[in-house]
Amino acid sequence: MLFVVWIHLLAAVSWIGGMIFLSLVLAPLVRSRKAAPEFMALFRSAARRFRFVVWAAVALLLSTGPILLHERGFSIVDPSQWPQVLRIKIGLVILLLALTFAHDLLLGARISQISANPENAKTVWEQTLVRTASWLPRVALLLALGVLFAAVVLVRS
């Protein structure tokens, strides 16, 4: 069981650590050097590579989470028996997964297409999508930190 906990934590740390790096280190660096297209290319390349880490982490978390719940004596099929903090954690996880799916699979490709257009050629809707795509990862990071906090509370209770 210790191995399952380790895998679960490794997946969470990989996902959250990468989110912190991209959001707080690489993205501000790229924004500060808007004139250099190679920095934007670096960011896009790093984000695409990180996508694999994210979805591998999601697969590991979704496969180890139920095992850990069962080990702690929680019925996976009866959420009414879960402590409040576990319900909050699962709710945050669902929101985080929805945002990640929207950002990676729905917005990502569209933003790449829009970014290729000159600024004055973008429609209002396209400009809104670009702005949304820039703040969505920050919201996802806050949700991930909330999930982490809820996990700590759950383990300590």
- Number of domains into which the chain is organized: 1
Residue span of the structural domain in which 120 resides? 2-156
Digit-coded pLDDT (tens) for 28-37: 888 776 656 7
Which of these, 132, 119, 140, 122, lies nearest to 50 by C-alpha position? 140
pLDDT digits (tens, 9 = 90+) for 110-119: 777 787 777 7
pLDDT-based confidence at residue 78 (cuts at 50, 70, 90): confident
Model confidence pLDDT, tens digit, residues 131-156: 778 788 889 999 999 999 999 999 98
Count the alpha carbons within 13 Å of 144 in the hemisphere toward its beta carbon. Answer: 25
pLDDT at 33: 66
Burial of 100 (0-12, 13-18, 19+ CB in 10 A): buried
